[in-house]
Amino acid sequence: MNKKALYAVMLALLLPLVSYFIVKNKSEHAVIMPRHYLPDSVVTVTKNGKRITDTVWHQLTDFSLTNQEGKNVTFDSLKGKIIIADFFFTHCPTICPALTSNMKRLAESIHNGQRVGDRTNKQVHFLSFSIDSERDSVERLKYWADRFQINPEQWWLLTGDKKKIYDFIINEIKVPAQDGMGVDTDFIHTDHFVLIDSNRYVRGYYHGLDSSSLQELSKDLVLLTLEKNPNSKSFFDGKLQLMAVVFLIAILGVGLLFYIFRKKS
């Protein structure tokens, strides 16, 4: 192999390596993912001699409620799904019909990309918690679902013990803390939509009657569907940098061997 041919080979091997680091750097800074909310604690650990501060985010606890089909459902049964939640009651004369209509438009805008067949996006699920569970029986929820043509496979209207529902809204999702005007904890009536990721971390609060806020929700939802699950690891996780270094050493080794060969010749 002559000198020019060797340089061409080394350049061909080096270009993918350089491209990898460029793309990696760009990808880490190009997209800003939806932020986390509700910190539980802050921990400090030492890694490789460096002190690293990390936030432990609040993970929503499970619930057991009844949906519009009369079925007992839990948060655990939605494992791996992204959740969009809101809060309503079927006798509401003001904002609830509009909130449900906007949620319905959002649900209809999300599909799995198929052109034909079942286009339901199985990665996203909608939850509407009744804040008037004493009057919102399964029959009333079914009436509401029929009124807005709600697909129970994609969207649950939930009723159950009022204390448990209010405890979940106030102490888990913490909607009152996000409402600048304050929320009556005796009767929660808020226009908030809440975005929850597949690990049950709250990732956003949005006003369900505000078009710009709903556009922000749609954008953040798309980003979450692309977000890598930190609990799942592939074979290459944590190894790409090492592979790149080995690749670079191999290139230098080829060059060194060629140099020694030339000297001996």
pLDDT at 235: 45
Residues 6+ apart with CB under 8 A from 103: 84, 86, 126, 128, 155, 193, 208
User: Are 205 and 192 within 8 A, CB to CB?
Assistant: yes
Is residue 263 one of the residues assigned to a domain? no
State the pTM of this model.
0.74
Distances (CA, A) of 68 to 105, 108, 127: 19, 19, 11
pLDDT at 122: 81
Phi (first) and psi of residue 69, to 5 degrees: -95, 0
Residue type, 113: G
Is residue 205 one of the residues assigned to a domain? yes
What residues are paired with 192 via a beta bridge? 207
Is residue 90 one of the residues assigned to a domain? yes
What single-letter DSSP state applies at residue 154? T
HSE-up of 21 (CA within 13 Å, CB side)? 11
Query: Strand 155-158 and strand 124-130: pairing?
Result: parallel
CA 23 to chain centroid, in Å, comes to: 23
Number of helical (H) and strand (E) elements in the chain, helices listed first: 7, 9
What is the CB neighbour count within 10 angstroms for residue 160? 19
pLDDT at 46: 82
The count of structural domains within the chain is 1
Helix (H) or strand (E) holding 189: none
Structure tokens, 8 = 């061409």
Residue type, 137: S
CA gap 63, 51 in Å, rounded: 37
Is residue 238 one of the residues assigned to a domain? no
Q: Which ranges constitute the DSSP H helices of the chain?
A: 3-30, 96-109, 138-147, 162-167, 175-178, 211-226, 240-264
pLDDT tens digits in sequence order for the chain, 265 residues long: 556 655 655 655 566 656 555 555 555 555 689 999 999 998 888 888 888 888 999 999 999 999 999 999 999 999 999 999 999 999 999 999 999 999 999 999 887 555 555 556 789 999 999 999 999 999 999 999 999 999 999 999 999 999 999 999 999 999 877 765 556 667 888 999 999 999 999 999 999 999 999 999 999 999 999 886 555 444 445 555 555 555 566 666 656 666 666 666 6
CA gap 137, 112 in Å, rounded: 32
Is residue 120 one of the residues assigned to a domain? yes
Is residue 237 one of the residues assigned to a domain? no
The enclosing domain of 163 has a CATH number of 3.40.30.10
Is residue 101 one of the residues assigned to a domain? yes
Q: What torsion, rounded to 10 degrees, do the Cα atoms 234, 238, 242, 248 define? A: 70
pLDDT at 50: 85
Phi (first) and psi of residue 221, to 5 degrees: -65, -45
CA gap 63, 26 in Å, rounded: 40
Structure tokens, 141 = 């929820």
What is the CB neighbour count within 10 angstroms for residue 50? 7
CA 221 to chain centroid, in Å, comes to: 7
Is residue 74 one of the residues assigned to a domain? yes
Residue type, 198: S
Per the structure, the complete domain to which residue 193 belongs is given by 56-226
